[in-house]
Amino acid sequence: MMKPSWKPSLILLPCILFTGCAQKYQQLGTAPNLSKTDQIQLSAVLDNPNGYHEKTIRLAGTIDDVCARRGCWVTMSDQDRTLRVKFTCPIEGRFVPEGAKGHQAIVEGKFEYKEIPEEEARHYLEDRGASAEEIAAIVGPQMEFYMFSEGILIQGGEDIESEG
């Protein structure tokens, strides 16, 4: 009678461990072209916006908010600074589910910033469903950081359900 060998277990164990730990992302729209080594954290971009202005970058951050109407934009924040990611791919129905709030995401696109009038800043807050007090707190022109992207990768996205 042959004794069972433990050697095949040594081969299978790393496969089981590494596939179980892999981060799963849901892709919506076009996949990023830049490599993961080119990925930048949101805080680095917002700390030095001039260094990234009008450049195509791959950015990682947490989704704070999603357009309530169609999911055609998301916001990512770093303390008191917010980046709005506007999706340029064709959108039929809802693009990003509202349930994506709080999930890590990767986007790639052209980073820009500009000063926007008070009315436009208030409009964005209204779209987010902000309170009357938050909207009234906007006084004068505001700096808007934004990116145009053709897609998004959402960590754990396969488990996200739309609330709309």
* Mean per-residue pLDDT pooled into runs of 10, the chain (164 residues): 52 42 77 84 92 93 87 84 84 81 93 94 84 94 93 81 51
The reported pLDDT for the residue numbered 16 is 39
Tell me the two tokens of residue 10.
Answer: 């040594």
pLDDT at 20: 44
CA neighbours closer than 13 Å in the CB half-sphere of residue 107: 29
pLDDT at 162: 52
Global pTM reads 0.73
As a residue count, the chain comes to 164
Angle at 17 between CA 11 and CA 22, to 5 degrees: 130
Domains of the chain: residue spans and CATH: 26-158 (2.40.50)
Q: Give the Cα separation of 153 and 32 in Å (integer).
A: 8
Residue 33: per-residue pLDDT: 85
Give the pLDDT confidence score for residue 109 in this predicted structure: 94
Residue 156 is predicted with a pLDDT of 83
Integer Cα distance of 87 and 46 in angstroms: 20
> CA-CA distance, 59 to 41, in Å (whole number)?
6
pLDDT the model gives residue 136: 95
